[in-house]
Amino acid sequence: MDDKTLTRDFGVADLHEVGVYRGRGGYAAVAKALKMAPPDVLCEVQKASLRGRGGAGFPAGVKWGFVPQNLPGPRYLCVNADEGEPGTFKDRYIMLHNPHLLLEGIVIAAYAVGIHEAYIYIRGEYEAVAQRLETAIAGAEGKNLLGKNILGSGFDLDVFVHRGAGAYICGEETALLESIEGKRGHPRLKPPFPAVVGLFNAPTVINNVETLSNVPAIIQNGADWFLKQGLPKDGGTRIFGVSGKVKKPGIYELPLGTRLRALIEEHAGGLKEGCVLKAVIPGGLSAPILTAEEIDLPMDFDSLAGAGSMLGSAAVIVIDRETPMLEVLRITSKFYAHESCGQCTPCRIGTAWIHKIVTRIAEGRGEPDDIDTIISLASNIKGKTECPLGDAAALPILSICRKFRGELERSLK
């Protein structure tokens, strides 16, 4: 299919080498952007309605526009490559197969905002991917596509790979900043927002890998073209990652608004032999669960929000009827209890308490009011924490308890 932008060339041998990438037309968007005025680049991305692919779906162009242009001192770009949302593996594919696409997006974003230093914050477990990025950066520097006076434009940009050390919370943008600064990944209270007070207290743009990787095509083909690839308020394609009980787990780049049913039944090959669909997590573990009856939804930010869930990182986890929902609840509560940074009491205590209760139920010692207690605890995390991890824990737990209450109550006896 030729409507793919990010994954179209994934099959090309040695695409990660700068010469091969350029042979496919790579870095033409950088050359084009560097001949435009930075505000025009910004304007094109704003018109394209490129929404953040990390999870929150905030429009990237609007974020870039928040950076004050009149303050003295440096500004920074931080690339969020901390891909830790359970079920998500799309950014690993982009960085491994097409690292120069990301680098191209980084150059254009930095040029539009007037940034000369970018850090790619990559999760520590992705060591092979980090090395791939470092090789790509060196290759681009060798061809004057990064570094000083890029392509003779007078624009300078240095890009560094910064390895994390294992902490889901560092995917939260302000925790990511703290982590680059060499601290515990404790999210900051907002405002001030990173666009004004970010890395080293300087104005900072933070974008996800997939978000930035969409920028070259927007500059090359224009915002109108990009919008036609998706929906009016939601431009472009999305890389959906499908995992769980399907025949063909993997990444599928499809227009935003593709039906969840088509994604599971056609693209991912349907459920494994002998499995019957029970539930789907549509946007990474933080997204509230959908029942088998809800899969006719279009996969875009607004449709899923309207159904009480979220598109998040577009990681689709498919659950079959043989899987007890108590086990799904146990894994979910274990994850958030483990990953809560400990800064806010409702999240630190609440997630651990819920996990304790669920573990007790799983050991056959459930009590009649356990589900109500879990719902009460989760409700007291929701909206009461500094960062979105609290909601990310509470909402899927609440959705499992409410949609599968009957089944969960049967495990109490």
Partner 1 sequence: MSRAYSETLLRKIDELVARYPKKEAALIPVLRLVQDEAGCLAPDEEEFVARALGLKKMRVREVITFYTMLTRRPLGKYHIQVCTNLSCSLLGSGPLLDYLREKLAIGVGETSPDGKFTLTTVECLGACDRAPCMMVNTDYHGNLDAAGIDRILAGLD
Q: Which residues bind to partner 1, rule: CB under 8 A?
A: 74, 83-89, 91-92, 123-128, 160, 162-168, 179-185, 200, 241-245, 249-251, 281, 285, 315, 317-320, 323, 327-328, 331-332, 334-335, 338-339, 341
Nearest approach in angstroms of CB 140 to partner 1 is 17
User: In terms of CB distance, is 33 or 315 closer to partner 1?
Assistant: 315
Quickly tell me which residue has 């009461």 as its tokens. Answer: 384
CB of 292 to partner 1, least distance (A): 15
DSSP string, 278-339: EEEE-SSTTSPPEEGGGTTSB-SHHHHHHTTS--TT-EEEEEETTS-HHHHHHHHHHHHHHH
Question: Which burial class, exposed, middle or buried, applies to 73 when counting CB atoms under 10 A from its CB (0-12, 13-18, 19+)?
Answer: exposed
Residue 59 DSSP code = B
CB of 355 to partner 1, least distance (A): 13
CB of 203 to partner 1, least distance (A): 14
Nearer to partner 1 among residue 34 and residue 212 (C-beta): 212
The H or E element that residue 406 is part of is helix 405-410
| Sign of the Cα pseudo-torsion (57, 193, 99, 389, in order) | negative
What are the tokens at 62?
A: 């609007």
Angle of the 345-362 helix axis to the 370-381 helix axis, nearest 10: 160
Q: Which is nearer to partner 1, 59 or 194 (CB)?
A: 194
Which is closer to partner 1, CB of 66 or CB of 160? 160
Spatial separation of the C-alpha atoms in residues 60 and 206, rounded to whole Å: 9
In this complex, which beta carbon is closest to partner 1, that of residue 235 or of residue 396? 396
- Cβ neighbours of 151 (radius 10 Å): 15
At 256, give phi and psi (nearest 5°): -60, 140
- CB of 83 vs partner 1, minimal distance in Å: 5
Q: How far is the CB of 130 from partner 1 (least distance, A)?
A: 10
Query: In whole angstroms, what is the distance from residue 395 CA to residue 166 CA?
Result: 24
- Looking up tokens 């429009």 gives 59
**Quick one: 113 or 170, whose CB is closer to partner 1?**
170
Question: Least distance (Å) from partner 1 to the CB of residue 335?
Answer: 6
- Give whichever of 305 and 331 is closer to partner 1, judged by the CB atom: 331
